[in-house]
A and B are shown apart, each in its own frame.
Chain A
Amino acid sequence: MPGPFAYFIWFVGILCEAAVLVCAVKKHAFRRYFVLNLYMAGLMVSEIGRYKFLTEYGFTSVEYRYFYYYSDAILTIFLYFALSSLYAHVFREMNAEKYVRFGTLLLLAGTALFTYAVVEQSTAKLVTHFVVELSQNLYFVGLVLTYVLWAAILKLRETRARLVQLVLSMGVYFSLFAANYALRNLYPSLSSVFVPLISVFGTFLPLAWAYAFWRLPEEARLVPARLAVIPR
């Protein structure tokens, strides 16, 4: 069973997810960043659902595990689409939304096929194994895509401060999860250390988005080239 600290982080996470939606509505950013807000709403609903499954069936129950992993995979796909919506924002002036949508679906299908090819060998619980692997692979694909988007922002001299912060926070979030998954694969015996970190890392994105919606007006501008680690 999760300890008091895990419950505390869980509660903080749900509170922050609600804060993102409230901030987005109050600052009139809900429709502009609709997919991001949809993901945040989905995340909040899934967190509440997980809590319900935990209290009803218990931490070690099959029901809780299935709900946890399947909802996680669906949310990762949602987050992937949220990332593609940020691509659409950056490339809107180039009228490249159609290509972005097509590319997103193609890459998602490619990742799913690759994952299937990897897990095909496992005889038992093929679908469950596939769902867990797909989620992990999408985190890494998301990380690479965020990096490409950040490079595009620097190249295109995108100056919208809020958009820049949303992209960078997503980059931090994807990197944290991808590193965590990689460490868990490298050291399976230390899973008890790395698994609880997921909920701690999980609070970063809602906090960062709430900050971006609340503090930065849509008109705020900055020079992204000055933010790069290696000055351009």
Chain B
Amino acid sequence: MNPRTVCAAVMCGMLVGLLGLAITMRPEAVITLPERVAAELSRSGVSHPVTAVLLNFRSLDTLLEIGVLLLAVVVAYALRETQADPADRMGLDNRLLHAVIAWLFPLMLLVAGYLLWAGATRPGGAFQAGALLAAAGVLLRLAGIRPSDFAHTLGARAVLVFGLAVFLAVGLGAMAVGGHFLEYPPAWASPFIFGVELALMLSIGFALFSLFELAPPHPVSNKGARERSET
């Protein structure tokens, strides 16, 4: 057995042991966060605690998160192949798939809208809805239906930054009316959160779809395919 593997196994086993020990012998929590969230929930503008934390109490996290997503898409745009996309090899020309998508696609849009709306009162919200939108886009793409050259237009870039822009505008707007950055006035919190979530849903959905779309399958003539054909 490779000494490197043994060494790694011993060290990782020790790490698991230490983590397990730390979990077992952890100190008691000084403050109970669920109670504090519950106490402030009525001022947050939504009635679901996770949404309240995500988009009101700790909205800076969410702002930075959509920034990270945008950064990933920007790098993916920068690294995409410089030549024009090859003829579409991703699409499955399957009539059954097309028929199923004709049924599923409107339903997926509907469920995405519902998830966004439900986020205020129960599990749901912008991320789940955005993920569903992205899945709908990927499904279309796999069936060979591609939205012309939308990915390379100014409109596509506008959709990508829309979520971050609206989030920043709302945060700065809260500063303009006298609060801190991203500190919504309680009376306005509910429409603010819904507006931000709507923008986030569109941007997240399109960003996840773009990450998929920007990595098309390799043309057959690449090295890996040659190696495979030789063996």
Q: Is chain B found bound to chain A in the same assembly?
A: no
B-contacting residues of A (Cβ < 8 Å)? none
A-contacting residues of B (Cβ < 8 Å)? none
